[in-house]
Chain A
């Protein structure tokens, strides 16, 4: 078990390294020197050079990369060009907001998706199944940002049930979490349905039924446990989607989260902040996938640990 976990973590190392390379290159492939933002057009070449030197931009790319990597190990992402503050501080301020939104959306998604998936599978090819799956198809095709705008327009602006924008109370989180959860639930519900259908066709379910067990016992005590196993990996994979979704929703609902910070910094070309938030968000997703994989191995004894 431990061996499997260690192996899985080692496999993630090349992923993390290539991520740092890509994120590092963003700064250097981007059109225009980032320090042009700080210095403005009217500086003498000497001042320009000294600022380039201060940020280490005059060194060869490979040296800069290893310095960047070394700083990462100390969780030092450099200073924000615009705000002149450490990027790590900015990220720490914003991260809890994104986490809250992500977790709320995630929980909502699971609460909606799992029962719908079971309902559809148990009532296969009935009107209930068709309704659930049509709903899932709609949800899958719904662009998150548009759904967020619709919710904002109708429930915040028209009906005044929820605040229009900002952050602070739980009420501010309801609409964005709902937009996130509902679109995500569509995929999970479809997966839950097919997983449940597969399990219901297994021999041990037939045995349980032929023993004369009540249908409820068969479904909830025998089938459900096994049908949930593949969902664990799926939820890990959906984490990337959840975080991508919250980047968009934070922009719509003016929520001061990490995603919003990243998008704002792309617009203002504050590249150290872009790099830092990108690395934190991507690492969170990669970590989520590792945890899901290990969890999958723990609950499914068929997976071999070698």
Chain B
């Protein structure tokens, strides 16, 4: 019976059936993911961060750079929920705006490294030979550098600024993607569906982007979720050391950095941004861990 039905199905019905199947498996994926309480907690934290970053001007009661020297280092009060800093700026507002910097660094820096790493990894894994040899060599060298020292070196050379921090973070984190994508391509290249695509005469570009890459999406997504917190930590460390995002731009690391000089008189300036960094980093770590367990059990530590 079923056979006859399949034969009778037109192209439209088949597409519809496939779409429904995909919808089901996506719902199943979401259900499995959020059965894990840690994933739900992580996801909630990330969502709150994104909402705060988007609506920062509505949430923050003051401008992030509005100075009022009359309110020099005031402790938390009704007017200033988290007190004020050495320029009388509202710490709460600065932290709210700081969420934008963290997200920006995360998206742009991780995005650049994802792009560089994926392209290089795909080239190495797909073509092999000399290309693979050269790219793998560079990746191995880059991977043996200590991340934070390399980032410090780049920023020391480029000078401290938000853009340079993003470049530094991207330059120290592409190699993980490259290694991962290369390994995926090496194993997927041998699969039948790729052979079929080759036999059908598709060009390399189409095989790489339409056939192999979508099949290695899962580990790439997992890695991206786990790269985000690393980028935020590197940015805040550089900013804390005074060689990252510069004042008056309110990155959490730079707020903390200027707060460290008033740690004893005004501990609120340093304690809250650090706490925010921890929560957000934890959110991404929890979500990434859970995502890995569901999407790609092979990657489990």
Q: CB < 8 Å: which of A19, A144, A150 contacts B145?
A: A19
Q: Is the CB of A146 within 8 A of B270?
A: yes
Tell me the minimal C-beta distance from B127 to chain A in angstroms: 22
Contacts of A247 in B (CB 8 A): 148-149, 152, 241
Q: What 1/0 flags go to A136-157 for Cβ under 8 Å of B?
A: 0110111111110110110001
Q: Is the CB of B229 within 8 A of A145?
A: no
Q: Is the CB of B158 within 8 A of A29?
A: yes
Q: Is the CB of A282 within 8 A of B145?
A: yes
Q: What 1/0 flags go to B230-247 for Cβ under 8 Å of A?
A: 000100110011110000
The stretch of B53-61, B194-202, B280-288 that contacts the partner chain = B280-288
For residue A210, CB closer than 8 A to chain B, the reply is no
Tell me the minimal C-beta distance from B40 to chain A in angstroms: 15
Tell me the minimal C-beta distance from A236 to chain B in angstroms: 11
Q: How far is the CA of A138 from the CA of B157 in the complex (A)?
A: 33
Q: What 1/0 flags go to B142-157 for Cβ under 8 Å of A?
A: 0011111110110011
Contacts of A142 in B (CB 8 A): 278
Q: Is the CB of A240 within 8 A of B147?
A: yes
For residue A190, CB closer than 8 A to chain B, the reply is yes
| CB interface residues, B 273-299, toward A, < 8 Å | 273-275, 277-279, 281-282, 285-286
Q: How far is the CA of A152 from the CA of B140 in the complex (A)?
A: 38
For residue A286, CB closer than 8 A to chain B, the reply is yes
With known contacts A137-B285, A137-B286, A150-B274, A29–B157 Cβ distance under 8 A: yes
Interface size on A, residues (CB 8 A): 49
Contacts of A25 in B (CB 8 A): 157
Tell me the minimal C-beta distance from B87 to chain A in angstroms: 20
Q: How far is the CA of A153 from the CA of B259 in the complex (A)?
A: 12
Contacts of A282 in B (CB 8 A): 145-146, 149
Q: Is the CB of B240 within 8 A of A248?
A: yes
Q: CB < 8 Å: which of B146, B264, B267 contacts A285?
A: B146
For residue B248, CB closer than 8 A to chain A, the reply is no
Residue of A nearest to B280 (CB): A141
| CB interface residues, A 232-271, toward B, < 8 Å | 240-241, 243-244, 247-248, 251-252, 262-263, 266-267
Tell me the dominant secondary structure on chain B's binding face: helix
Q: Is the CB of B233 within 8 A of A243?
A: no
Q: What 1/0 flags go to A18-35 for Cβ under 8 Å of B?
A: 110011011001110000
Q: Is the CB of A141 within 8 A of B285?
A: yes
With known contacts A137-B282, A142-B278, A157-B263, A278–B149 Cβ distance under 8 A: yes
With known contacts A149-B270, A281-B149, A143–B260 Cβ distance under 8 A: no
Residue of B nearest to A252 (CB): B260
| CB interface residues, A 186-227, toward B, < 8 Å | 190-191, 194
A residues contacting B by CB (< 8 A) are: 12, 14-15, 18-19, 22-23, 25-26, 29-31, 137-138, 140-147, 149-150, 152-153, 157, 190-191, 194, 240-241, 243-244, 247-248, 251-252, 262-263, 266-267, 274, 278, 281-282, 285-286, 289
Q: A15-B141, A23-B153, A138-B282 are in contact. List 13 more A-B contacts (CB 8 A).
A: A18-B141, A19-B145, A30-B159, A141-B279, A141-B285, A143-B233, A143-B240, A143-B277, A146-B278, A147-B274, A194-B301, A244-B148, A247-B152
Query: Top 5 closest A-B pairs, CB basis?
Result: A146-B274, A240-B146, A244-B148, A141-B282, A141-B281
- 7 A–B contact pairs at CB < 8 A? A140-B281, A145-B237, A146-B270, A147-B274, A240-B146, A248-B240, A285-B149
